[in-house]
Amino acid sequence: SPPAAVSQVTVRDALNQALDEELERDEGVFLLGEEVAQYDGAYKISRGLWKKYGDKRVIDTPISEMGFAGIAVGAAMVWLRPVCEFMTFNFSMQAIDQVINSAAKTCYMSAGSIAVPIVFRGPNGAAAGVAAQHSQCFAAWYGHCPGLKVVSPWSSEDAKGLLKAAIRDDNPVVMLESELLYSVPFEMSEQAQTKEFVVPIGKAKIERQGTHVTIVAHSRPVGHCMEAAAVLSKEGVECEVINLRTIRPMDIETVEASVAKTNHLVTVEGGWPQFGVGAEICARIMEGPAFNYLDAPAVRVTGADVPMPYAKILEDNSLPQVKDIVFAVKKALNI
């Protein structure tokens, strides 16, 4: 049989496809947030959806995160399926009481009688030249809280499949996207472009097979890890690159199986070092069966421990670069 058709799709279009398909599939799904309707979305993720589905399904809100997040949580408690967009996750801070105290804890506190099937989504982490108040990564913050599921896509396939899975999930899901990936095209298989394609929450993906070192990342740094792996391959070092996809629940089994094979571990993230995603991965490996397979200490590559500078050269040096990953791998391998 001929190979399945593969086409290039941007992350923006993959997210738009997912929203369109889920709005069509389930009339309980609706989208709300700043600029999502008439303006077609601040980042054009919801392009065309207001025209197609109208005011009741795609709703522009005032600049009042606590207000519209609270409305969305209440709607979810009566079994609608809101998709609540934050224009940047930095401003989900305004609504974190709704996300944690109202959404994440309600199923447990009601002994399972009230579900909150809601998705909070939007750009997370650093963009370009937007300074400290728009550049923080919240993977560790939201990943810390029981009652939430937290996903962090890299490719277009991740973005579409995880958003569809998140909308269908009966738990609150935080979806942390990267603004800098929105216009990046990735190959998407024919299957990934069908209406029933979903990426299961809680399952990592091995993006590149390797034998010498395991590199674990999420979101945009996965791309940097793939570039670093290509550079290192020329020097005879074969990296296994794992795209976490989900922060919570974390697929530590995939990481453990890889570490058992490679005997070395490097974690890469754009967030701050203290109490970060990499810190959690290292602790889990330390406590589990894979620890006995490590031939060297695990190495973390993270953002710098500073509020994000505005100047481009400082911003570049505050985020993990390909050279930092190459250096960390060589340190782990003692070469």
CB-based contacts of 288: which residues, under 8 Å, 6+ apart?
252, 256
Which listed residue (21, 22, 34, 65) is catalytic?
65
Phi and psi at residue 147, in whole multiples of 5°?
Answer: 100, -20
pLDDT at 6: 85
Q: What is the CA radius of gyration of the chain?
A: 20
Domains defined along the chain, listed by start? 8-193 (3.40.50.970), 205-333 (3.40.50.920)
- Residue 251 corresponds to which tokens in the numbers above? 């697929």
Tens digit of each residue's pLDDT, the chain (335 residues): 655 678 999 999 999 999 999 999 999 999 999 999 999 999 999 999 999 999 999 999 999 999 999 999 999 999 999 999 999 999 999 999 999 999 999 999 999 999 999 999 999 999 999 999 999 999 999 999 999 999 999 999 999 999 999 999 999 999 999 999 999 999 999 999 999 999 999 999 999 999 999 999 999 999 999 999 999 999 999 999 999 999 999 999 999 999 999 999 999 999 999 999 999 999 999 999 999 999 999 999 999 999 999 999 999 999 999 999 999 999 999 99
**pLDDT tens across 105-121, in order?**
999 999 999 999 999 99
Active site includes 85?
no
Residue 85 CA to residue 234 CA, distance in Å, equals: 42
Closest CA to 58 of 79, 82, 75: 82
Answer positive or negative: Cα dihedral of 138, 142, 143, 148: negative
Closest-CA residue to 52 (of 23, 14, 10, 82): 23
Q: Active-site residue 65, yes or no?
A: yes
Q: Residue 7: phi, psi to the nearest 5?
A: -130, 160
Considering the candidates 34, 134, 177, 218, report the single residue annotated as catalytic: 134
Please provide the size of the chain in residues: 335
Q: Is the dihedral of CA 92, 97, 98, 100 positive or negative?
A: positive
pLDDT at 5: 75
Residue 158 · residue 199 · CB < 8 Å? yes
User: In this predicted structure, what is the pLDDT of residue 2?
Assistant: 52
pLDDT of residue 3: 57
The label of the residue with tokens 């009688």 reads 113
Question: Which pLDDT score is estimated for 1?
Answer: 60
Contacts of residue 166, defined as CB under 8 A and 6 or more positions apart, other chains included, come to 119, 121, 149, 151, 173, 175, 201
pLDDT at 221: 98
**Tokens encoding 296:** 């060297």
Q: For 2, which DSSP code?
A: P
Return the closest-CA partner of residue 274 out of 173, 156, 174, 144: 144
